[in-house]
Amino acid sequence: MQLVMLGLPGAGKGTQAARIQQEFAIPHISTGDMFRAAISAETELGATVKSFLDRGILVPDEVTIAVVKERLNASDTANGFLLDGFPRTLQQAMALDETLIDLNKGLSGVLYIHVPEGVLLARLTGRRICKQCGATFHVVFQPPQREGVCDRCGGVLYQRSDDTGEAVSTRLEQYAQTAPLVEYYRDRGLLRQVDGEQSIDQVFAGIHEILGHLQG
C-alpha cells in the first residue's frame, strides 16, 4: 500500500499514521517529523529548515522534495509507505508522481482527514509530544496516564514550538497552498475522505475500512 495523508494542521494525520503503521506494517514518513529530528540533531538540513518551522511557513519545495525522494529510495518502502504531510503543494505532488514513476510504483490512495477549522486551535494548543519516542498526546482528548510523561516509553512530554502563538495561525494560512491537492487527487480517483471530527478510535475505524477495500 502506497498512501498519502492529507489534512489541515491538527486534523489527526500523525495520530492516525501511528496506528496505520502498527496495523499495516508500512513505514510512516512524516516530513514534519524528519525536519524536527534534523533540527534537534543540529544537522545541515536542520539549520536550513529551522526558521521555517518556527514561523509555521512551508519549507521551500526543492528542499522538501529532495528529502522525500531520498527517503522513498530506502529499502523499507518496498512493501509500501504512508506519507504524512507530503505533498503540501502542487509542485510537490507533481514531483511525487515523477518519483513514483521512476521507482515503478503508484499511489494506492490518498486519505483525506476532513475537519472544520473550528476544532483545530484546541487540538494544536493541547498537543504534547514525547521527546524520546515521538508519541502524540493531548491534555484533554488523549491524556497520558501521568501528566507530562509518555505512556509508551516514560519519556518527557513537550509542546511543539509551532503549537503556540503566531505560528498556529500562520500554519492555517499556509494550508491554502495545500488545499488544491484535494481536487488534484479527487480528479485522479485517489481521494478517500474520512470525517476527522469523530473520536480518534472512530476515525481509525473509518480508515481501517477504507484500507481494507484498497487492499482488496
Q: Which residues bind ligand AP5 (CB under 6 A)?
A: 7, 9-15, 31-32, 35, 52-53, 56-59, 64, 85-86, 88, 92, 123, 126-127, 136-138, 141-142, 162, 171, 196, 199-200, 203
Using the contact rule CB under 5 A, the part of the chain among 34-42, 56-64, 85-93, 135-143 near Zn ion is 135-143
- For Zn ion, the closer of residues 27 and 144 by Cβ is 144
- For Mg ion, the closer of residues 98 and 117 by Cβ is 117
Catalytic residue among 36, 123, 128, 171: 171
Nearest to 88 by CA among 32, 45, 135, 28: 32
When binding is defined by CB under 5 A, the residue of 152, 156, 199, 205 that contacts Zn ion is 152
Could you tell me the smallest distance in angstroms from the CB atom of residue 154 to Zn ion? Answer: 7
DSSP 11-77: SSHHHHHHHHHHHH---EEEHHHHHHHHHHTT-HHHHHHHHHHHHTPPPPHHHHHHHHHHHHTSGGG
**Residue partners of 153: CB distance under 8 A and separation at least 6:** 130, 132, 133, 135
Catalytic residue among 19, 55, 105, 160: 160
Catalytic residue among 13, 36, 123, 128: 13
Catalytic residue check, 160: yes
When binding is defined by CB under 5 A, the residue of 135, 157, 181, 190 that contacts Zn ion is 135
Q: Which three cell numbers mark 182?
A: 484535494
Are 88 and 64 in contact by the 8 Å Cβ rule? The answer is yes
Q: Tell me which residues in 131-170 interact with Mg ion (CB under 5 A).
A: none
- For ligand AP5, the closer of residues 11 and 130 by Cβ is 11
- For ligand AP5, the closer of residues 48 and 108 by Cβ is 48
Beta bridge partners of 129: 136, 158
3-state secondary structure of 135: coil
**Residue partners of 216: CB distance under 8 A and separation at least 6:** none
The listed partner (Zn ion, ligand AP5, Mg ion, none) that binds 152, CB under 5 to 8 Å by sort, is: Zn ion
Cis peptide before 143, with omega less than 30 degrees from 0? no
| Residue with smallest beta-carbon separation from Mg ion | 14
Residues at the site binding Mg ion, with contacts judged by CB under 5 A: 14
* Catalytic residue IDs: 13, 88, 127, 160, 171
